[in-house]
C-alpha cells in the first residue's frame, strides 16, 4: 500500500518509533517563535541550565502584541511591552535570530517564514501558535504546539507525538470570479464542522487547489485548525517551486535540483488510502461569510441568518440561539443587510501581498462608507514595502482606509487594535469567537474582496454588489 503526503513526511522525520503506549519521536526542521508562548519555555531552559539545541533552526519575530500605528514609539501597554522585551532578552541570551519591530523582515510569523524561503516541502515546522498549519501549503507537516512542547523543541529539536489520521479534502472544479480560497475553506468548515477534522491531517487536493496560487493555498491551510484538524497540507508542485526559487533560504544550484527532485516524490501515491474523504464542488461555491461565533457558523452571502426554530437537533438549536444573541442578529435577516462598523484587512490568513492587491482592486475609485472604519494591516514589513512600491497604500488611503504597519493587529485583540463592546466587524482573520477581536466585539469572517466591498457599502457585500 502506498503512502499519503503526510505519512511520507512523518516517516522521513522519525527519530524513534514509539512502542506500546509511547508516542513516536519526530525531528523538527524549523521552529518559529514569538513573544506570547515562548517566555515560560525559555525560562524552563534557563532553570535547567540548558541551551537551545539548534538556534540555527529557530527563528523569532514580534507580531502578536506589537502596535501597528506608531510602532516606532515605546509600546504603551505594559503587558505587551514586557512580553516583547522578554522575547528580545531571551533571543539575545540563547542566540536565537530575531526580527524585532523596525526590522525589514518583521511581521506575522506565518508570513515571514514562507517569504524568507524557510518553509519548504517535506519539512516539519512547529510554533507555539495554532495557525502554524499555514506552512502546510508547501507540503510541510506544520502544526501548533503548547508551551511545554516549545521548551522541548528548543532543548532537543525533537517532539514526541502520536501519529495522526489522514483526510482527503477533494475540491474539484473552477472557482467563479469573486470566490476565493477563503470562501473555500469556510465552506469546508461549514460542511464538516469545527470538530470534523479532529485528529486528522487534512490534505487539500483536486483541480481547484492545483489552480490556486501559493498565497491562496496558505489561506486555506491556515484555517485547517478551525475545522479541528492538527494540520493541513497541499502536495508541492510547479507553483510551489516557482514561489520558492530564489528566496533567501531556498536551496541554490545543484542543491535546488536535488531538492525539487525530492519534493516531487512527496505527492500522495496513487494506491494510498486515506482514513476519511470529503468532496467540495468548487463550481457551486459563492462568497461565504460567518454569522455566528465560530468559523463553522457560516453561509453563502446570498443566504439569511438561520432560524433556530427550524433546527431539529437540540444542541445545534441552542448553539444557534446563543450565537445570534451574542451577535445581535435576528433570524431571517438577509446577510447582505447586516451593517458593520469596522473592516479589518490583514492577519496570517489574509495579510499577504495578493490579498492587498485584490482588495485594492475593489476599492480603487471607491470610498469607504462614512460610518465605517477600515484598517489595512500588511502581514509583514516586506509585504508593506512591496505594497507601497506598487502604490497600493495610495489606493487604500484615497478610499479612506487606515494604512498600518505589520503585526497581528485586530485578529486577536492582544494589542491596541480592538473592537469595542457591541461593535461589529467584517474581518479577513480566522476566528470569530466571542471577544476574539475585543471584549463584546462581533466578528464576521470574510475574504479580502468581500471585506473591500463591505467597506464601500457598509453592509456585508460582494464585489458584484458594487
* pLDDT reported for residue 71: 72
Q: Give the integer Cα–Cα distance in Å for 423 and 407.
A: 21
Q: Are residues 192 and 219 in the same domain?
A: yes
Per DSSP, the residues of 39-73 read HHHHHHHHHHT---S-GGGEEEE--SS--SSSTTS
Q: Are residues 326 and 196 in the same domain?
A: no
Separation in Å, CA 411 to CA 75, 421, 442: 18, 16, 12
The answer to whether position 434 is within a domain reads yes
Q: Are residues 272 and 294 in the same domain?
A: no
Q: Are residues 105 and 170 in the same domain?
A: no
Cell of 305: 441568518
Q: Are residues 276 and 299 in the same domain?
A: no
Residue 224's beta-bridge partner residues? none
Sign of CA dihedral 89, 93, 94, 100: positive
Say if residues 447 and 352 touch (Cβ distance below 8 Å).
no
Q: What is the chain's percent helix, strand, coil content, to nearest 5?
A: 40, 20, 45
Per DSSP, the residues of 219-275 read HHHHGGGGGT-SEEE----HHHHHHHTT-TTS--THHHHHHHHHHHTTSPPTT---S
| Pairing state between β 141-144 and 373-376 | unpaired
CA count, 13 A, side-chain hemisphere, 403: 19
Per-residue pLDDT of the chain (466 residues; tens, 9 = 90+): 899 999 999 999 999 999 989 999 999 999 999 999 999 999 999 999 999 999 999 999 999 999 999 877 789 999 999 999 999 999 999 999 999 999 999 999 999 999 999 999 999 999 999 999 999 999 999 999 999 999 999 999 999 999 999 999 999 999 999 999 999 999 999 999 999 999 999 999 999 999 999 999 999 999 999 999 999 999 999 999 999 999 999 999 999 999 999 999 999 999 999 999 999 999 999 999 999 999 999 999 999 999 999 999 999 999 999 999 999 999 999 999 999 999 999 999 999 999 999 999 999 999 999 999 999 999 999 999 999 999 999 999 999 999 999 999 999 989 999 999 999 999 999 999 999 999 999 999 999 999 999 999 999 999 999 9
Select from 128, 161, 194 the last residue of a domain. Answer: 161
The values of phi and psi at residue 203, to 5°, are -115, 115
Say if residues 283 and 173 touch (Cβ distance below 8 Å).
yes
Say if residues 87 and 34 touch (Cβ distance below 8 Å).
yes
Q: What CATH number has the domain bearing residue 418?
A: 3.30.499.10
On whether the pTM is more than 0.95, the answer is: yes
Collect all residues with Cβ–Cβ distance below 8 Å to 328 and sequence separation of at least 6. Answer: 422, 424, 442
The position carrying cell 516549545 is 150
State which H helix or E strand residue 149 sits in.
helix 147-156
The answer to whether position 246 is within a domain reads no
Q: Are residues 154 and 179 in the same domain?
A: no
Q: Give the integer Cα–Cα distance in Å for 101 and 67.
A: 9
How many residues appear in the chain?
Answer: 466
348 is in an annotated binding site: yes
Cβ atoms within 10 Å of 155's Cβ, excluding its own: 16
Q: Are residues 327 and 458 in the same domain?
A: yes
The answer to whether position 255 is within a domain reads no
Q: Are residues 21 and 116 in the same domain?
A: yes
Q: Nearest Cα to 30, choosing from 105, 102, 138, 103?
A: 138
Q: Are residues 98 and 57 in the same domain?
A: yes
Cβ atoms within 10 Å of 242's Cβ, excluding its own: 11
Select from 105, 131, 161 the last residue of a domain. Answer: 161
The answer to whether position 249 is within a domain reads no
The position carrying cell 510547479 is 238
Collect all residues with Cβ–Cβ distance below 8 Å to 100 and sequence separation of at least 6. Answer: 61, 62, 84, 88, 106
Say if residues 368 and 342 touch (Cβ distance below 8 Å).
no
Name the domain count of the chain.
Answer: 3
Q: What CATH number has the domain bearing residue 197?
A: 3.40.1060.10
221 is in an annotated binding site: no
The answer to whether position 231 is within a domain reads yes
Q: Are residues 346 and 455 in the same domain?
A: yes
The answer to whether position 248 is within a domain reads no
Say if residues 219 and 185 touch (Cβ distance below 8 Å).
yes
Q: Nearest Cα to 417, choosing from 345, 326, 329?
A: 345
* pLDDT reported for residue 446: 98
CA count, 13 A, side-chain hemisphere, 206: 20
Select from 161, 183, 217 the last residue of a domain. Answer: 161
Q: Are residues 374 and 431 in the same domain?
A: yes
Collect all residues with Cβ–Cβ distance below 8 Å to 223 and sequence separation of at least 6. Answer: 131, 133, 182, 185, 186, 189, 232, 295, 349, 430
Q: Are residues 65 and 145 in the same domain?
A: yes
| Pairing state between β 58-61 and 30-33 | parallel
Cell of 296: 463553522
The domain of 266 spans 165-236+260-284
* pLDDT reported for residue 332: 98
Amino acid at each position: 500500500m502506498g503512502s499519503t503526503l503526510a505519512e511520507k513526511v512523518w516517516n522521513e522525520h522519525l527519530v524513534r518509533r514509539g512502542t506500546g503506549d509511547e508516542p513516536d519521536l519526530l525531528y523538527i526542521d524549523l521552529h518559529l517563535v514569538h513573544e506570547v508562548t515562548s517566555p515560560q519555555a525559555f525560562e524552563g531552559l534557563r532553570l535547567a541550565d540548558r541551551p537551545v539545541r539548534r538556534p540555527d533552526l529557530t527563528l523569532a519575530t514580534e507580531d502578536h502584541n506589537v502596535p501597528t500605528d506608531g510602532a516606532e514609539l515605546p509600546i504603551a501597554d505594559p503587558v505587551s511591552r514586557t512580553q516583547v522585551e522578554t522575547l528580545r532578552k531571551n533571543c539575545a541570551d540563547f542566540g536565537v535570530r530575531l526580527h524585532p519591530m523596525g526590522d525589514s523582515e518583521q511581521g506575522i510569523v506565518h508570513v515571514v517564514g514562507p517569504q524568507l524561503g524557510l518553509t519548504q516541502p517535506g519539512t516539519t515546522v512547529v510554533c507555539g501558535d495554532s495557525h502554524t498549519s499555514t506552512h502546510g501549503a508547501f507540503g510541510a507537516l506544520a502544526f501548533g504546539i503548547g508551551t511545554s512542547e516549545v521548551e522541548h523543541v528548543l532543548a532537543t529539536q525533537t517532539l514526541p507525538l502520536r501519529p495522526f489520521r489522514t483526510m482527503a479534502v477533494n475540491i474539484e472544479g473552477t472557482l467563479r470570479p469573486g470566490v476565493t480560497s477563503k470562501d473555500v475553506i469556510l465552506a469546508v468548515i461549514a460542511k464538516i464542522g469545527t470538530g470534523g477534522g479532529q485528529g486528522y491531517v487534512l490534505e487539500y487536493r483536486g483541480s481547484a487547489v492545483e489552480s490556486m496560487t501559493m498565497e491562496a493555498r496558505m489561506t486555506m491551510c491556515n484555517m485547517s485548525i478551525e475545522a479541528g484538524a492538527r494540520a493541513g497540507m497541499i502536495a508541492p508542485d510547479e507553483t510551489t517551486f516557482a514561489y520558492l526559487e530564489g528566496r533567501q533560504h531556498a536551496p541554490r544550484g545543484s542543491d535546488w535540483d536535488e531538492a525539487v527532485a525530492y519534493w516531487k516524490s512527496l505527492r500522495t501515491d496513487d494506491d494510498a488510502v486515506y482514513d476519511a474523504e470529503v468532496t467540495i464542488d468548487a463550481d457551486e461555491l459563492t462568497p461565504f461569510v460567518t454569522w455566528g461565533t465560530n468559523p463553522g457558523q457560516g453561509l453563502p452571502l446570498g443566504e439569511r441568518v438561520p432560524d433556530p426554530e427550524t433546527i431539529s437537533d437540540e444542541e445545534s438549536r441552542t448553539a444557534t440561539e446563543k450565537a445570534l444573541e451574542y451577535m445581535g442578529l435576528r433570524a431571517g435577516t438577509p446577510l447582505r443587510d447586516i451593517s458593520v462598523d469596522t473592516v479589518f484587512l490583514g492577519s496570517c490568513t489574509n495579510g499577504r501581498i495578493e490579498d492587498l492587491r485584490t482588495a485594492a482592486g475593489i476599492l480603487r475609485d471607491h470610498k469607504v462608507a462614512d460610518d465605517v472604519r477600515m484598517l489595512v494591516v500588511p502581514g509583514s514589513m516586506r509585504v508593506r514595502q512591496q505594497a507601497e512600491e506598487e502604490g497600493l497604500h495610495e489606493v487604500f488611503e484615497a478610499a479612506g482606509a487606515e494604512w498600518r504597519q505589520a503585526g497581528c493587529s485586530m485578529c486577536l485583540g492582544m494589542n491596541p487594535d480592538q473592537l469595542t463592546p457591541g461593535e461589529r466587524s467584517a474581518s479577513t482573520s480566522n476566528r470569530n469567537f466571542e471577544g476574539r477581536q475585543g471584549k463584546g466585539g462581533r466578528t464576521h469572517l470574510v475574504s479580502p474582496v468581500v471585506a473591500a466591498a463591505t467597506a464601500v457599502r457598509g453592509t456585508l457585500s460582494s464585489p458584484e454588489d458594487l
